[in-house]
Copies of this chain bind each other. A is one copy, B any other.
Amino acid sequence: MAHSRQDRRWARRKEARPAELISAALDLFVERGFAATRLEDVAARAGVSKGTLYLYFPSKEDLFKAVVRGGIVPAIERAEKQFEVHRGGAGELIRQLVKGWWTSVGNTRLGGIPKLMISESGNFPELAQFYHDEVISRGHRLVAAAVQRGIDTGEFQPVDVNYAMRLVIAPLWLLTVWRFSFGQCDRQQLDPVAYLDLHVDLILRGLGAAAEPAMVGEQRPGLRSAPRPTAGTTINSAAGRK
């Protein structure tokens, strides 16, 4: 044997390198932003030299693209599946989509990508377009379809779906973006799950068919206010947790 394991200065690992480089790049891009991340650091974190990085990615920009492509697209596809499978009220669907987003994006390392994309969109219009077409517009379509379904069944009021959809996702944007920007400045840590719960409670209540006196008796089963515990308790459940 020419080398013991310790002697070996490096090993050939052609298959593993790209994923390891992308993972390292995700960490550093999210942590420092695109411009402030040095490729030498990315390479070092992946356990290789800068030259090796350039064997797999022709430029810094291409590495950036690979990070975005690899991380987010699968998540949106899972959400689309979730939508197709769902049987039940639109309100419950929206609740589940929000929850799914939290577990598969918001609460993972991927949560840094939205903020990263916002920050760098100006300097990479082409990449912004890609992200918009491949992720954002699909997400928008999904949520808009859920809202539309609620309107069609009479569960929601006939609002403009395009605006309502944006109001549904706005707090999700804020949550991720916040964590990677002013998260450190905020002394009080808020519980993301409680925050999202309250958001869904409020927005569904806001969207819900008017609770006019005449309608109280003939509320549809899907309507949010009845099936869950007392509205006050539910909405206020956020207050209990620290």
Contact = CB atoms under 8 A, between A and B. Distances in A.
A210 B198 contact: no
Given A173-B177, A205-B206, A206-B201, A194 B163 contact: yes
Interface in A142-165: 157-160, 162-164
Contact of A232 (B123, B158, B167, B194): B158
A190 B202 contact: no
Given A166-B171, A171-B167, A117 B185 contact: no
B166 A195 contact: yes
Contacts of A198: 159-160, 163-164, 167
A36 B157 CA distance: 46
A190 B205 contact: no
A178 to B, nearest CB: 8
Interface string A218-242: 0000000100000110011011000
